[in-house]
Every structure is written in C-alpha cells, then in structure tokens.
Amino acid sequence: YLQANVVILHKDLADEFEAFCRANPSPLPLLYRSDPGEWGCPPLSAQADIRYLICVLFGLREDCAQYCVFEKGALVKKVASLVPYTSQLQDMVTFYLGCSFSFERALKQAGVPVRNAEQGRNVSMFRTSVQCVRAGPFRCPMVVSMRPVPRDKLDVAAQCTHRFPLAHGGPVHIGHPGILGIPELWRPDYGDAVEASPEDVPMFWACGVTGAEAVQSTKLALAFTHSPGCMFLTDREEVTAASQTSESGSCPLTFCISQNPLHYSIASKTAVQQVRELEQLIQEDPGQRGIQALFVPDELLRACLSLSHASSVLITTGFPTHYMHDPPEETDGPPGAVAMAAMLQALGKHVVIVADQRAMELNMRIIQDAVDKGVIKSAVPVMSFQGSSPDSALRFLCHDGDPSKPRSHVLKKPTYCWSDLFKHCAPYRFDHLVAVERSGRACDGNYYNMRGVNIKHLVDPIDDLFTTASTVPGITTTGIGDGGNELGMGKVKEAVKALMPKGSLIACDVAADFAIAAGVSNWGGYAVACSLYLLNRCDVHRRYVQKGLGVLPAAREHSLWAASLPSVPKEEEILRILVKHGVRSGKTANLGLEVDGLTFHPTHSAMVQRLRDLSLEERAVTKALRCTS
C-alpha cells in the first residue's frame, strides 16, 4: 500500500509550508493537506486517525515510536501517540507527503534488488548540501535516500521510479555521494547503513525527511513529523501512486558522464534519439577526409549531458594554419565557439574563451562585433594562458590552485586577463573545458597543420589545461575536430595515425574525455549548441539537473534558448566578421565566405538549417506504450 511522510504544524504557517512543498515537488510530493484539527485524511485512508498511527516499519505493520516531537526546532522526544497533544492539534494542519517505500515493490518486480530490504534494514538517508527552494520561513537542505543498484539495472531503476511522481519520482543523483555533499555512505544521517555489492552504483532519490529538516530550521514552537523510516500507511494500493500517463518517449535513460568522480546523467528516450540524429548529421564529409573513421558513438550526447551539469565552461579555439598570413587563423573554429557560448550563456552558464596571447585583440574584436551584430547576446570574456610555471595550469583552472574550491559565481565585470578574472570573481573552478578546431600537441611536442607544417611558434600551451584537468576530479574535457590534429582528439589518435593523411605525424597526443568528430569542426560546435537546447527542453533531464527542486523552465525560457540556436543569418554574419578581420578559409586561404574550402552557400548554410530544423522539431510521443526497459 501507498505510504506517506507526515508533517504537522500550526495553521498560521500552513499556506507557506504548502508553498514550500509546491516549490520542492520531488522531496515533498503533497498527497493531502488536512483542515485544522482534522484527524483523518479521507482520500488516503477511510478510517485513519492521525493521533493513533498504525505505521509500517521496514515493511512490517506494527506499533512503534512513530512521531518526532519538535519544540523550537529541537527534537525533544519520540512518541507512539499524539493523544496527549489533542488540544494543540485543534489548531494544527497535517501534511501527508509521498514516500519512496511506495516504489520498492515495483523495483523488486522489475528485477532490481532492494538492498535495504534484503538486509532487513531501514533505507539510508542523508542530509545534502543541496538547498531547497525557499518559501516564507521554510528553508533547509534536501534529504535524500540511497539505494545501491547494480550497474546494469540503472536504466530499469530510473524508468521504474520515474512512474511514481507521488513517491518522489525518479532519482535526483546517480554516482559519487560527494557531488551531493555527502561525506560517507556508511554514516547516514537517518536510517541504517546499507551494504553494497561490488557492481552496485549509489542511486539517490529525494526524501520526505526533508520536511523534518524544514521544521527544525524554522524553529517552530511545536511541530510533529513521522519518525524516519516509520511511515503512515494508507488504504491506497501502491500502483495508484504511479503515473497513468507514462509515455515511451519520456522514459529515462542513464549515461555515465564522469568516472572521477563517478557521475551519471539522465535524459528521455526522445531527447537521446534527437541528439543521436544530430551526431549522425555532422558525420557528413563533404571534404572527403574520411572523418567517419574517428567517430565514437554518443560522444556528442555524453559531452552535452556533462555540459548541462556544468556551471563554468572554458572554450578554446584557434588554428593558425596560415603561417604566411597575418592573422594566421582560419574560419573553422570561431563560429562554432561563438555558437556554443551563446547557448551556454542562455542556459545561465559562466563562459570564457581562451585564445593565444598574440590573437587576444583579434578575438576580442570578433566577439564585440558578434555582440553588435546580434550573433551573441553579450560579450564573452577572452583570456590567454602561457604556462609560465609548473603549477600555472592548476592555478588557472582552480582558484589558488585548490581543486576543492567551490564553483564559479557571477563575474563582477568583464575581463580579458586570467589574473584579473581571479580579482573580479569569487573563488571558482571550471567544470568543463571545450576545444573546437584548436591546434593540438603531437607526440613529439610540436603542432602541425594538415599539410604537416610545424606551427608551434604560433601556439600557446593551452593543451596543458587539458592534461591538468584530467588529474582534477570534477573537471571534464571535450575536443571537437575534423582531422585528428585538434586538441582533444588524442582520444582517437590510433585511428588518426592509421587512417588519416600524415596521421602518424600530425595526430594530437592530448586526449579529451569526449572527442566529437565532425565533417567540419564548426558543425560540431553547432551540434553542441543544438543538443544543449534539446536536453534542456527535456523535462526528464531538467528535473534531474535541478535535483527535483523548483519549477521546470516555462515557455519564456524555452523561447530564450530557441533564440540562441545557430541560424543561417547569424552564422553568415559571424563569417563576414571573420573575413572583415582578415581570417581565411583553412584549406584554400581564400578571404571570403568559405570554411575548409567549402562555400557558406550552399554547403554550410544547408547544414546549419538542417541542424536547426531537427532541434525545433516537435516529436510525437506514443502514449499507448508504457515505460519499459
């Protein structure tokens, strides 16, 4: 039967607590709010009297010390009956909130072992560092429950619990507990420690004990909650808590986006399919370079899932292939970088661009012109990195060289120097580094264009940021390239050496966590922007990113994101800006609307339009099919 968490407080605060529940629907799914002095809850139980609670403890009906009594926010005792408080209860309101115990039977039926039940223990519950959305006087960290789930059952567990929105719904985190601010799994704040099997992954759901945290933080004169793990038992069968409108396209799929620390993300089947179609689209190879040989499935998807979780993103671009010209840069790279930056800005991320010192002024002028022409909404800070000392890369990536520093905060003013960045921003660290058509270091320490010419004298050691990031937990890297000599494409260097022209000489030796191969690198940047749009339009993914807190983005946010998508007019305009500043086509050195020897019309404009159309396409979802694995 459906089980419930209970919070009882004074009627004067009832409206504000209900608002708190509405603002935090995953930890506090509201099943019923009583009237003042109402002992029963007719929609949930025909004969219930909240003063005499018959509850469930570890799955067994029995009498126990069911209630926690709080006075001025402090737990003063636990009692089995509230009859002694009958007079006070006349002016109090009871809130019945969904409970994750309601989906445990469904997990078992789906073949997912429930370790706490197997071990005869209460579920492990933890206070996190994730703050709930405040409402009135109510504010507190979210509490989560944890169940170890076998790695090969993660999709099944996510899909199964996704169907129980009134029992906290799907997981809010999968992976390392430290990402939620949980120091040790063997020391739960509530419940019992649960032993995991070797192939298990920690899976966390929002927990109704969050209500007890809210009561304590508000320091109410008198309040009651259920005792954690000791739930109110209703007359409703568990199946009635499951969503009756589950659609096959909205079923969640899980993907590992980091091994250090272990971190999984979630997106719906429909969103995943659309991103995979984008990935296939950018594999077209009009330059006949054989780029398909470098293709690794789902790199675009995993990279964009990771970017969606990031707070602060560093983008680097610049391939000085035309060493005989000034400037030596090519038109592939900057348009893709600007397209990604525009979407990341729209999603509220902090974005900086890192360029070679000699090209700082050029990149600043390009960015400012892009703002003036409406290609991007606001200027992106441009920085350089020269690697003047052994710890320069770590100090650049993490404030004071300390990886434990918190994530970034809003810049107080625009800046174009990395040392100034530290002065005008609270302690921060980058979460994700992206290189798009950025010259990459070969195994001999040099940098080569596709003709095999060494251009090391024109390139700053930005590769060091990527190699250092690989040693810092929590920083992810992505490389986007179309030939294998670009930064980050070291992940596929063996394929580059074996299959690409001059591959054994030019192959980049520096690997990124994700390597996105595209027919033209700009297309990879466009696809990242489009994928971020699709993922953040996906309610399943957005809920997971938001940890089930707050309301999902509405039409206004969706419109802002759509306006930040690449478009043919914007991409033609950024190309005109590059030509204005003397930037040439990579393959031919032509000073015109051309990238890699391919004219903007029709080749690039057609690709931009196809990517955009796919992103804006509204997919029909089959309602007749249930969410299955």
Please report the pLDDT score of residue 64 as a whole number.
39
Which residues, 6+ apart, have CB-to-CB distance to 569 below 8 Å? none
Contact 371, 378 (CB under 8 A): yes
Please report the pLDDT score of residue 349 as a whole number.
95
Burial string for 554-573 (b: 16+ CB within 10 Å, else e) reads eeebeeebeebbbbbebbbb
Which phi and psi angles does 96 have, rounded to 5°? -105, 120
Q: Is the pLDDT of residue 307 over 90?
A: yes
Amino acid letter, residue 373: K
How would residue 227 be classed by pLDDT, with cut points 50, 70 and 90? Answer: confident
Please report the pLDDT score of residue 621 as a whole number.
43
Please report the pLDDT score of residue 76 as a whole number.
95
What is the C-alpha to C-alpha distance for residues 483 and 291, in angstroms, rounded to an integer? 7
How would residue 416 be classed by pLDDT, with cut points 50, 70 and 90? Answer: very low
| Residue linked to tokens 């591959």 | 503
Mean pLDDT over the full length of the chain:
90
What is the C-alpha to C-alpha distance for residues 430 and 315, in angstroms, rounded to an integer? 11
How would residue 399 be classed by pLDDT, with cut points 50, 70 and 90? Answer: confident
Please report the pLDDT score of residue 241 as a whole number.
55
* 8-state DSSP, 433: E
Neighbours of 463 (CB within 10 A): 26
Helices (H), 138-247: 154-162, 210-218
What is the C-alpha to C-alpha distance for residues 409 and 586, in angstroms, rounded to an integer? 37
Residue-wise pLDDT for 137-150, tens only, equals: 999 999 999 999 99
Structure-block tokens of residue 552: 């999902």
Residue-wise pLDDT for 457-475, tens only, equals: 999 999 999 999 999 999 9
One-letter-per-residue 3-state SS of 285-336? CCCCCCHHHHCCCCHHHHHHHHHHHCCEEEEEEECCCCCCCCCCCECCCHHH
Please report the pLDDT score of residue 187 as a whole number.
96
- Taken in order 214, 219, 223, 228, the sign of the CA dihedral is positive
What is the C-alpha to C-alpha distance for residues 151 and 124, in angstroms, rounded to an integer? 19
Q: Is the pLDDT of residue 405 over 90?
A: no
Residue-wise pLDDT for 477-522, tens only, equals: 999 999 999 999 999 999 999 999 999 999 999 999 999 999 999 9
Q: Answer with the residue of higher pLDDT: 415 or 542.
A: 542
What is the C-alpha to C-alpha distance for residues 82 and 55, in angstroms, rounded to an integer? 14
Structure-block tokens of residue 298: 């789902």
Please report the pLDDT score of residue 616 as a whole number.
96
| Residue linked to tokens 């799907």 | 170
Q: Is the pLDDT of residue 407 over 50?
A: no
What is the C-alpha to C-alpha distance for residues 537 and 547, in angstroms, rounded to an integer? 16
Which phi and psi angles does 565 have, rounded to 5°? -65, 150
How would residue 12 be classed by pLDDT, with cut points 50, 70 and 90? Answer: very high
Contact 385, 397 (CB under 8 A): no
What is the C-alpha to C-alpha distance for residues 377 and 129, in angstroms, rounded to an integer? 33
Q: Is the pLDDT of residue 424 over 70?
A: no
Contact 304, 530 (CB under 8 A): no
Summarize the confidence of residues 196-220 as an average pLDDT.
95
Q: Is the pLDDT of residue 425 over 90?
A: no
Q: Answer with the residue of higher pLDDT: 229 or 348.
A: 348
Please report the pLDDT score of residue 62 as a whole number.
39
Contact 460, 356 (CB under 8 A): yes
Lowest average pLDDT, out of 50-54, 142-146, 563-567, goes to 50-54
Q: Answer with the residue of higher pLDDT: 472 or 427.
A: 472
The β-bridge partners of 486 are: 439
The β-bridge partners of 68 are: 78, 225
Please report the pLDDT score of residue 618 as a whole number.
79
Summarize the confidence of residues 70-86 as an average pLDDT.
91
Burial of 462 (0-12, 13-18, 19+ CB in 10 A): buried
Residue-wise pLDDT for 163-175, tens only, equals: 999 899 999 999 9
pTM above 0.85, yes or no: yes
What is the C-alpha to C-alpha distance for residues 341 and 488, in angstroms, rounded to an integer? 18
How would residue 585 be classed by pLDDT, with cut points 50, 70 and 90? Answer: very high
